[in-house]
Amino acid sequence: MSQIGHNISLTERARRIRRHALRMGEVQGQGYIAQALGVADVLAVSYFHATNYRPEDPDWEGRDRFLLSIGHYAIALYAALIEAKIMPEDELETYGTDDSRLPMSGMAAYTPGMEITGGSLGHGLGIAVGMALALKRKKSSSFVYNLFSDGELDEGSTWEAAMSAGSYKLDNLIGIVDVNQMQADGPSIGVLNFEPLGPKFEAFGWFVQRVDGNDIDALVKAFDAARHHAEAAPRVIICDTKMAKGVPFLEARDRNHFLRVEPHEWAEALRIIDAGVQA
Amino acid sequence: MRRSKYIRPAHLESGIDKPRLTTSAMIASIAGPDQPTRPAPFGNALAILARNDERIVGMSADLAKYTDLHVFRAAHPDRFYQMGMAEQLLMMSAAGMAREGFQPWVTTYAVFASRRAYDFICLAIAEEMLDVKVVCALPGLTTGYGPSHQATEDLAMFRGMPNLTIVDPCDASEIEQAVPAIAAHKGPVYMRLLRGNVPLVLEEYGYKFELGKAKLLRDGNDTLIISSGLMTMRALEAAKQLRNDGVDAAVLHVPTIKPLDEATIVAECRKGGRLVVVAENHTVIGGLGEAVAGTLMRAGVAPPAFRQIGLPDQFLEAGALPTLHDQYGLSTLKVTEAVKTWLST
């Protein structure tokens, strides 16, 4: 577990991750804000409860690897990296601008703490398989986390990786699926029906849990169970999240895959987040 | 033009017995009947190299046996990973391995690496400059199984990929030398693999492989044949035959397609008055021929004539490999005839 900041509650961490994401979004006036707000609780539990890392040494060999498969969600992970002090907060203002270490889509070469380049979807879980195999070769006790999305369930490569992880019984691999029910062309289920999802992973030999991805207590319990599960099997935590969670007027927008937010709305969104208002 | 399914073979209609050349093997041998060969040069070289390099792991997508990686697997079973018939996963997991400090050597067929797994080699491996070696059997026209197995356009695809080094070796000795050279190069490499009993032809030319270097194997005043891969073998055989006809052919072997040894190519083409022929086991679109042409144009070098020997811009026929090499102009006979024709016109 991270050695820093146990005095700050995970709920507060999630609130601050949302705040960082909104401030970055404001720099560009638009972006994958709804996903960032939706997945903030998952990231708070990941970075402040479940994973080992050293903020001052993002490449520390003993760290748990946290892979963001969905490069589009970079703004969400940047917010977590800033909150985890792996990235300095003042660079938040450079988001998506020239010479920034925080490009619009997540790339490993740019950002400390960004383990992979994830913009082409369906890469993360397979890379995680390779890393998990490699960590076993090195007799490392580190875990590999891969955060991927329900949209990435459309990609066949995700399922190649899922089958392989089960076949190799990769008990050091923890998949986190952000099921926010929205992808580029509309509601995820309508694009390609991936349900029932849990049984699919189970059939591939995974230890499966499905939780409300905006319920911090449920997430803590699921991450603990994933890490301490006794069987030699990969683990997946399917997280049902709400797009734009925490900012009700953004939650209410039905086309929120790529949010455009009016200039005056940013301050309002920040005010709501700061007040801790939950929908 | 491919054969029509509505037309029966002519010799059956005529009743005349025709000797039948068969394509029984997925990978037909490219060795001639009297050619010395060495078995599985890639698999053996990698197995030997891995004895002193703990970083090396082998991974394959259900084709270890058909890419000579089974030799490595037998020598180092704990370092072999079977990824199943899943080429996207093969490339992704190799990327993950490389990220953790290992040097994965992944094998499949060239068609599957190029057509099916391009995005994964490009973004998971090349964009990250990861130390992954992609070694692929059946490059160009080396099987009679038809377009599903003939990687006639792999070079055209991979030449466009930044960071990727591309190697197209000619014979067993070159493959054996290329393996340690590629291992020493830090970054992604695509190597076209000749497997099984691979001919030995370069030793008599005192040839030594150097990554990124083109080498003049023989000199000649009438024509310069620039070639890579198995076509260098054909070019050398053709040059010997052309000699009997009083034609003096030079052969410049270019095993590294990218980065291309432009300096040597330009220098050789500047030596005036020679017909320049580029011979490659690949479609004439986007491979060595067009790479050389572009190099010469940029350098302002214009040979008296420039010709390409390569596969046509078509999906090729199925059949026996020697027949197909004759049909599409890759056989020694056809190379010899083509050069003679071009020199006389």
Q: According to the model, what pLDDT value does residue B1 have?
A: 59
Q: Do A156 and B88 count as a contact with CB atoms less than 8 A apart?
A: yes
ipTM, interface predicted TM-score of the complex: 0.92
**What band does A200 get if pLDDT is binned at 50, 70 and 90?**
very high
Q: According to the model, what pLDDT value does residue B83 have?
A: 98
Q: Which of A125, A133, A156 sits opposite B81 (nearest CB)?
A: A133
Q: According to the model, what pLDDT value does residue A277 have?
A: 47
pLDDT, one tens digit per residue, over B14-39 is 888 877 777 666 777 888 888 999 99
Q: According to the model, what pLDDT value does residue B24 have?
A: 64
Q: Is residue B159 pLDDT above 90, yes or no?
A: yes
The Cβ of residue B298 has, within 10 Å, a number of other Cβ atoms equal to 10
Q: By the CB < 8 Å criterion, does B163 face chain A?
A: no
Q: Is A67 in contact with A147 (CB distance < 8 Å)?
A: yes
Q: Do B92 and A134 count as a contact with CB atoms less than 8 A apart?
A: no
Compare all CA atoms of chain B with the CA of A125 and give the residue at the minimum distance: B92
Distance CA A44, CA B255 (A): 52
Smallest Cα distance from A245 to chain B, Å: 31
Q: By the CB < 8 Å criterion, does B304 face chain A?
A: no
Q: Tell me the residues of chain B between 50 and 69 that have a Cβ less than 8 Å away from chain A.
A: 57
Q: Is B4 in contact with B166 (CB distance < 8 Å)?
A: no
Task: For residues A131-154, give the mean pLDDT.
Answer: 98
Q: According to the model, what pLDDT value does residue A162 have?
A: 98
pLDDT, one tens digit per residue, over B168-200 is 999 999 999 999 999 999 999 999 999 999 999
Task: For residues B219-235, give the mean pLDDT.
Answer: 98
Torsion of CA A118, A124, A126, A128, to 10 degrees: 120
The Cβ of residue A58 has, within 10 Å, a number of other Cβ atoms equal to 17
Q: According to the model, what pLDDT value does residue B23 have?
A: 67
Q: Which of A116, A138, A160 sits opposite B89 (nearest CB)?
A: A160
pLDDT, one tens digit per residue, over A6-57 is 567 999 999 999 999 999 999 988 889 999 999 999 999 999 999 999 999 9
Q: According to the model, what pLDDT value does residue A279 have?
A: 39
Q: Is residue B12 pLDDT above 70, yes or no?
A: yes
Which residues on A lie below 8 Å from B88 (Cβ)? Answer: 122, 126, 156-157, 160
* B253: nearest Cα among B161, B162, B173: B173
pLDDT, one tens digit per residue, over B47-86 is 999 999 999 999 999 999 999 999 999 999 999 999 999 9
Q: Do A164 and B84 count as a contact with CB atoms less than 8 A apart?
A: yes
Q: Is residue A104 pLDDT above 60, yes or no?
A: yes
Q: Do B96 and A117 count as a contact with CB atoms less than 8 A apart?
A: no
Which residues on A lie below 8 Å from B120 (Cβ)? Answer: 123, 126, 157
Give strand pairing partners of B109.
Answer: B137
Which residues on A lie below 8 Å from B124 (Cβ)? Answer: 116-117, 123, 126-127
% pLDDT > 90, chain B = 89
Q: By the CB < 8 Å criterion, does B83 face chain A?
A: yes
> Chain-wide mean pLDDT for chain A?
94
Task: For residues B131-139, give the mean pLDDT.
Answer: 98
Q: According to the model, what pLDDT value does residue B4 have?
A: 81
Distance CA B261, CA B128 (A): 24
Q: Do A164 and B119 count as a contact with CB atoms less than 8 A apart?
A: no
Distance CA B237, CA A78 (A): 60
Which residues on A lie below 8 Å from B99 (Cβ)? Answer: 115-116, 127, 130-131, 134
Q: According to the model, what pLDDT value does residue A2 have?
A: 46
Q: Which of A129, A135, A138 sits opposite B93 (nearest CB)?
A: A129
Task: For residues A220-237, give the mean pLDDT.
Answer: 98
% pLDDT > 70, chain B = 99
Task: For residues A174-202, give the mean pLDDT.
Answer: 95
Q: Is residue A3 pLDDT above 80, yes or no?
A: no
Q: According to the model, what pLDDT value does residue A34 have?
A: 94
Q: Do A160 and B102 count as a contact with CB atoms less than 8 A apart?
A: no
Distances (CA, A) of B79 to A72, A262, B57, B74, B105: 35, 55, 5, 10, 11
Q: According to the model, what pLDDT value does residue B33 have?
A: 83
Range with the poorest average pLDDT among A183-187, B76-80, B121-125: A183-187
pLDDT, one tens digit per residue, over A66-89 is 999 999 999 999 999 999 999 999
Q: Is residue B138 pLDDT above 60, yes or no?
A: yes
Q: How is the beta sheet containing A235-240 ordered, strand by strand?
A: A65-68, A144-149, A173-179, A235-240, A207-212
Give strand pairing partners of B107.
Answer: B60, B135
Task: For residues A200-214, give the mean pLDDT.
Answer: 98
Q: How far is CA A150 from the centre of its chain?
A: 12
The Cβ of residue A93 has, within 10 Å, a number of other Cβ atoms equal to 13
% pLDDT > 90, chain A = 88
Q: Tell me the residues of chain A between 171 and 190 that have a Cβ less than 8 Å away from chain B.
A: none
Q: Taking CB atoms and an 8 Å cut-off, how many pairs form between chains A and B?
A: 94
Q: According to the model, what pLDDT value does residue B134 have?
A: 98
Q: According to the model, what pLDDT value does residue B345 have?
A: 81
Q: Is B75 in contact with B104 (CB distance < 8 Å)?
A: no
Rounded to the nearest 10 degrees, what angle do helices A156-167 and A124-137 cross at? 20
Q: Tell me the residues of chain B between 90 and 109 that have a Cβ less than 8 Å away from chain A.
A: 91-102, 104
Task: For residues A191-204, give the mean pLDDT.
Answer: 97
Q: Is residue B241 pLDDT above 90, yes or no?
A: yes
Contacts of A257 (CB under 8 A, 6+ apart): A32, A34, A182, A183, A184
Q: Is residue B243 pLDDT above 70, yes or no?
A: yes
